Amino acid sequence: MFMSEIELLTWNEEAKQGFVLNPLGGNYVYKGDGFYVSFNPDTSFDFLGSLRSSAGSETALYDDATWRILNGDWRSDYEVLVPNGLQACIDFYESKRAEHRCDWSTD
Residues of the chain by 3-state class (helix, strand, coil), percent to 5: 35, 20, 45
- Shortest CA distance to 100 belongs to which of 66, 62, 42, 56? 56
Is residue 53 within 8 Å of 45, Cβ to Cβ? Answer: no
At residue 2, the pLDDT reads: 60
* Predicted confidence (pLDDT) per residue in 18-61, tens digit: 999 888 778 999 999 999 999 999 877 655 656 655 668 999 99
Report CA 48 to chain centroid distance, whole Å. 18
At residue 53, the pLDDT reads: 56
- Shortest CA distance to 101 belongs to which of 72, 79, 81, 66? 72
pTM of the prediction? Answer: 0.84
Per-residue pLDDT, averaged over 57-66, amounts to: 96
